[in-house]
Amino acid sequence: MRKNFRILIIPYLFLIPYLFTFIAFRFGPSIAGFFVSLTSWNIVGTPKFIGFSNYIELFNDPSFITSLINTLYFMVLTVPALIVLGLLIALLVDQNLKGRTITRTFVFMPYVIMSTVVGVIWMWIFDTHFGILNYYLSFFGIKPIAWLSSVNWAMPAVAITTIWWTVGFNMILFLAGLQDIPEELKEAARIDGASNWQIFWNVTFPLLRSTTVVVLMLTLINSFEVFDQVYVMTGGGPSMATLTVIQYMYFQAFQYFRLGYGSAVAYVVFAFLIVLVLIERQLLKKVGES
Amino acid sequence: MRLKLGILALLSILVIGMVAMAAQPIELTFWGGWTGPDGDVMRALVDEYNSTHPDVHITFTTMQWTPLFTKFMTSAAVGNPPDILGMHGPDIPQFAALNLLTPLGNVISKAGFTATQFATAAWNGTFYNGVQYAFPLDLHMNAIYYNKTLFEKAGITPPTGWISGQQFLDMAIKLTIDKNGKHPNEPGFDPNNIVQYGFGLYSLNWHAFLQWYELLAQQGYGFLNQQNTKVDYPLDAGLKAWQWLQDLVFKYHVSPVGATNPLNDFLIGKTAMLEDGPWEIPACQAQKGLEWGTFPIPQVFEQKTVWGSGHVLTIPVQKDKAKIQAAEDFVIWLIKNSSKWALSGNIPALNAAREYAYSLPGRTGFLESAPYEVMLPRIPNEAEVFSAASVSPIVVAGQDIMVRDKDILPVMKWMNDQINQILSRGQ
């Protein structure tokens, strides 16, 4: 009885340090955040309860709607590209080719650079009048593109930066998944006369399913929470063309000191992410069943 | 006997402890948003004070103004604010309205300071609702930086004082060159292949609005009504001010469309002039091979005015009287010794300290402008109304007009509506 009790309690003792920090710094503030979202509060002083007014104001706030649409646009630009490119590069560097180690290093290297540094580097590259990208494009007769100051180009420019910066991370995850696939399975398919494409589509890709789920989920969440590179490169402009929801939340809560309103944005983002993950899981379930 | 010895030992420890504690300097924290070379100048001043005042030790912390104010609000909320806080004059109302700042009128007059000893704009910038909340440290305003080499090449003698809008435009046209060596007023000029621009100005951030604001003031108008409750200026005057700026970019092609880094363009000689504040002086001094100077912004309309602001030093509300006294002593010392602060590029507010700035290179434009400085209106929700964030109506309006070449009037009306909505919500 005593032994059973010890066996039962000991794992929880190990969990206590994590649970403590989780409750104190994640779960607790998350719950508190919801109550704050029902108030008008500027950090100093007593919060004033205003019910769901912040949420009502939020859905009538054109800037918030713009930020939501921009975030979805950013996701459309980056998520498929990050997954397809990550997989393709992983497949490439998984081959027994010369220089694959150095290629892996080069592709992954940007990921270890700080987001602010990445932003500054690409601001120089994208400079309309004196940037290196427009200089090279001019050789093809292309007129200078206002990458960061044009409403049409600013978000694609931020997306290009993000893809360059983070594709290495997806590549590493896919590479780990690829190296888990037993070589014998591919070998057997090859003996059965399968082409390289058939091996990839019928052997490699299905076995990468769990990796793909993880990569997709992480990429979706990271893209939805985009902040740093936008903050550094465009600040959300021009004319709010790159304003994202997290940035909007930051402005409201920490620049305008509208803590209640900012918390309401956070909760809408939270709800949105949950819905997104649920849809994604259902879709993958269907793909798995088929 | 043992008991007596024990008591004696305990008493000795207590006495030694008390003496040691008494000998400890008072620890003060000083926060400011001087993150560039100006931060080094302030740090040197703090170090000087620490070394000459062994009874006090000040720890100086810098971070950008916006996160600094967030940090201040959160630390004030839990009763642990810094002992001294730097800010801009127009920042005072938002914190004073929340009772976070100590009124300092008595301290300032006891220290022997009077209005006549300071630049008027700087002194006035320390008040909110008739109460003085801060010591005026400096003034900083827009002026025109110019590249001496490019001026020489173009055969232009740089101005030393205020010039008219037309004179300025003529210079900017002469200094703008396309890849065939033509200027914007010459036939065959190619606006898509400009290799050198005459004038760099900010169009993507809130400085676009500040440039407009000073042109509105040049016509004799403010932005808000007297009670600071509503936008109130003649649309016609606002239109003329925006039109001047928009034309520099899209009609005369003397300024690049949507420049992402106007300062850098100036430093590397791609633009011949730049409108900016004195905080860029250290960057200009550090740029090898750049020969530069400054003159006031052009007087486009009837009056000489320029947007400006000023740093002030405040003492946040707290209970420790010894710390308050030590903080006051430090701030008084700093103001009296603020001539060295001119090395940061800022123009000291104290008249006596400002004299030193005259001997420093590149200050002409700013010193000439100081008497004509206008600050933004002083309102408690300044952080939202005059926000530099991308969602801010003043930023969006500037981008729409100066980057997207939008029709000015509807944009201006939209901006006014948005600002009125924010003002009506209060702090």
Contact B66 A254 (CB under 8 A): yes
Is residue B177 located within the same domain as residue B259?
Answer: yes
Dihedral sign, Cα of residue A182, residue A186, residue A189, residue A191? negative
* 8 Å CB contact between B208 and B402: yes
Note the pLDDT of residue B1: 56
Binary contact (B73, A143; C-beta < 8 A): no
How far is residue A124's CA from residue A135's CA, in Å, rounded to a whole number? 12
Describe the crossing of helices B393-402 and B235-250 by its angle, rounded to 10 degrees.
Answer: 50
Inter-chain CB proximity A240 and B387 less than 8 Å? no
Q: Which of B346, B354, B330, B343 is nearest to B117 (CA)?
A: B354
Cα(A70)–Cα(A6) distance, integer angstroms:
53
User: Total structural domains in chain A?
Assistant: 2
Residues B288 and B420 in one domain: yes
Looking at the structure, tell me whether residues B301 and B314 fall in a common domain.
Answer: no
Same domain? For A31 and A104 the reply is no
The whole-number average pLDDT for the span B154-178 is: 96
pLDDT digits (tens, 9 = 90+) for B203-238: 998 999 999 999 999 999 999 999 999 999 999 999
Do A143 and A13 have their domain in common? no
ipTM at complex level: 0.81
- Is B303 within a domain? yes
Q: What is the pLDDT of residue A288?
A: 64
Residue A56 falls inside a structural domain? no
Question: To the nearest whole number, what is the mean pLDDT of chain B?
Answer: 92
Q: Does B257 touch chain A (CB under 8 A)?
A: yes
SS3 assignment for A141-196: CCCCCCCCCCCCCHHHHHHHHHHHHHHHHHHHHHHHHHHCCCHHHHHHHHHCCCCH
**Backbone φ and ψ of A223, nearest 5°:** -65, -40
Question: Which pair of structure tokens corresponds to residue B149?
Answer: 């080499």
Residues B412, B348, single domain; the answer is: no
If asked whether residues A129 and A256 sit together in one domain, one would say yes
Asked if residue B388 and residue B364 are part of one domain, the reply reads: no
Reported as type and span, the H/E element at residue B378 is none
What integer pLDDT is reported at residue B16 of this predicted model? Answer: 59
Per-residue confidence (pLDDT) for residue B19, from 0 to 100: 54
- Co-location of A125 and A260 in the same domain: yes
Per-residue model confidence as pLDDT tens digits over B304-321: 999 999 999 999 999 899
CA gap A151, B79 in Å, rounded: 44
pLDDT at B4: 67
User: CATH no. for residue A174?
Assistant: 1.10.3720.10
Tens digit of pLDDT for each residue in B182-206?
Answer: 999 999 999 988 999 999 999 998 9
pLDDT at A130: 79
Region B344-373 average pLDDT = 92
Q: How far apart are the first and last CA of chain B?
A: 69
Q: A interface mutation test: which of B197, B266, B390, B417 has the most A CBs within 10 A? A: B390
Phi, psi of A285 (to 5 degrees): -60, -45
Asked if A247 and B257 come within 8 Å (Cβ–Cβ), the reply is no
Residue B17, helix vs strand vs coil: helix
Do A81 and A133 lie in a common domain? yes
Structural domain includes residue B5: no
Same domain? B130 vs B145: no
- CA distance to partner chain B, nearest, from residue A152 (Å): 11
Domain boundary among the residues B335, B358, B374 is at B374
Task: Name the minimum distance, in Å, from the CA of A42 to any CA of chain B.
Answer: 9
Give residue A48's identity as a one-letter amino acid code: K
Residues A17 and A140 in one domain: no
Report, as an integer, the average pLDDT of B68-85: 92
Query: Alpha-carbon distance A15 to A20, whole Å?
Result: 8
Task: Specify if A41 maps to a domain.
Answer: no
Which residues does chain A have within 8 Å of residue B381's beta carbon, measured at their own beta carbons?
Answer: 256
DSSP A252: I
In this structure, are B270 and B289 located in the same domain?
Answer: yes
Q: Do A45 and B258 touch (CB under 8 A)?
A: no
For the segment A203-253, what is each residue's pLDDT rounded down to a tens digit? 888 888 888 988 998 999 899 989 999 999 998 989 999 999 999 999 999
**Backbone phi, psi, residue B8, to 5°:** -60, -45
Does A51 map to a domain? no
Tell me: do B275 and B176 sit in the same domain.
Answer: yes
CA A23 to each of CA A35, A116, A271: distance values in angstroms, whole numbers, following the listed order = 16, 30, 20
Contact B299, B218 (CB under 8 A): yes
Cβ-defined contact of A239 to B400 (cutoff 8 Å): yes
Q: Report how far Cα B297 is from the mean position of its chain's Cα atoms.
A: 16
Q: Are strands B271-276 and B194-200 parallel, antiparallel or unpaired?
A: parallel
| Model pLDDT, residue A2 | 65
Q: Which helix (H) or strand (E) holds A64?
A: helix A62-94
Residues B257 and B146 in one domain: yes
Q: What pLDDT is recorded for position A12?
A: 86
Is residue A141 less than 8 Å (CB to CB) from chain B?
Answer: no
B154 domain-assigned: yes
A121 in a structural domain: yes
pLDDT at B168: 98
Domain that holds residue B65: 26-137+310-374
| Residue after which a domain boundary falls, among B374, B389, B412 | B374
Asked if B300 and B329 sit in the same domain, the reply is: no
CA–CA separation, A137 vs A149, rounded Å?
17
Q: How far apart are CA A277 and CA B242, in angstroms?
A: 47
How many independent structural domains does chain B possess? Answer: 2
Q: Are strands B138-141 and B306-309 parallel, antiparallel or unpaired?
A: antiparallel
Q: Are B391 and A130 in contact (CB < 8 Å)?
A: no
What distance in Å separates the CA atoms of residue A227 and residue A123, rounded to the nearest whole number?
16
A57 within some domain:
no
Task: Say yes or no: B288 and B318 in one domain.
Answer: no
Name the more confident of B59 and B282: B59
Which residue of chain B comes nearest to A125, CA vs CA?
A: B260
Residues A129 and A87 both lie in one domain = yes
- Residues A174 and A238 grouped into a single domain: yes
Asked whether residue B272 is assigned to any structural domain, the reply reads yes
Of A44, A129, A148, Cβ closest to residue B256: A129
CA-based nearest distance B400→chain A, Å: 6
Q: Give yes or no for A151 touching B (CB within 8 A).
A: yes
Measured between alpha carbons, how far is B138 from B341 in angstroms, rounded to an integer? Answer: 8
pLDDT of residue B115: 96
Radius of gyration of chain A (CA): 24
- Co-location of A171 and A267 in the same domain: yes
Distance from the Cα of B230 to chain A's closest Cα (Å) equals 19
Q: Are residues A27 and A103 in the same domain?
A: no
Q: Which residues of B touch A44 (CB under 8 A)?
A: 73, 76-77, 98, 100
pLDDT at B66: 85
Question: By CB neighbour count within 10 A (0-12 exposed, 13-18 middle, 19+ buried), where does B417 fall?
Answer: exposed
Shortest alpha-carbon distance between residue B382 and chain A (Å): 9
Query: What CATH number is attached to the domain comprising B103?
Result: 3.40.190.10
The answer to whether residue B15 sits within a structural domain is no
A86/A215 Cα distance (integer angstroms): 9
- Which residues have C-beta within 8 Å of that of residue A255, sequence separation ≥ 6? B66, B70, B383, B384, B387, B389
Per the structure block, which two tokens stand in for B380? 């408690």
Q: Do A127 and A267 have their domain in common?
A: yes
Cβ contact B341:B41 at 8 Å: yes
Residue A97, classified by CB atoms within 10 Å of its CB into exposed (0-12), middle (13-18) or buried (19+), is: exposed
Residues A103 and A202 in one domain: yes
Residue B73 structure tokens: 């609000």
Give the closest of A130, A234, A240 to B265, CB-based: A130
Nearest Cα residue to A257 out of A101, A49, A39: A39
Residue B379 · residue B228 · CB < 8 Å: yes
Peptide bond before residue A238 is cis, with ω within 30 degrees of 0:
yes
A244 touches chain B (CB under 8 A): no
Nearest C-alpha neighbor of A208 from the set A188, A179, A168, A186: A179
Q: What is the largest CA-CA distance in chain B?
A: 109
C-alpha radius of gyration, chain B, whole number: 25
Q: Which two tokens stand for residue A126?
A: 């994208």
Domain containing A222: what range? 62-289
SS3 B281: helix
* Number of inter-chain CB pairs under 8 A, A vs B: 104
pLDDT at residue A279 in the model: 82
- Tell whether the model's pLDDT for residue B9 goes beyond 80: no
Q: Are residues B277 and B365 in contact, defined by beta-carbon separation less than 8 angstroms?
A: no
**pLDDT score for B36:** 81
Q: Kindly give the confidence (pLDDT) of every residue in chain A, 290 residues in length, as a single tens digit, with 9 standing for 90 and above.
A: 566 777 888 888 889 999 999 999 989 999 999 999 999 998 888 899 999 999 999 999 999 999 999 999 999 999 999 999 999 999 998 888 888 888 888 888 899 999 999 999 999 999 887 789 999 998 998 888 889 989 999 999 999 999 999 999 999 999 999 998 888 888 898 898 888 889 988 888 888 888 898 899 899 989 998 999 999 999 898 999 999 999 999 999 988 889 999 999 999 999 988 888 888 778 777 766 65
Residues B299, B406 within the same domain: yes
CA B186-B188-B193 angle, to 5 degrees, is 100
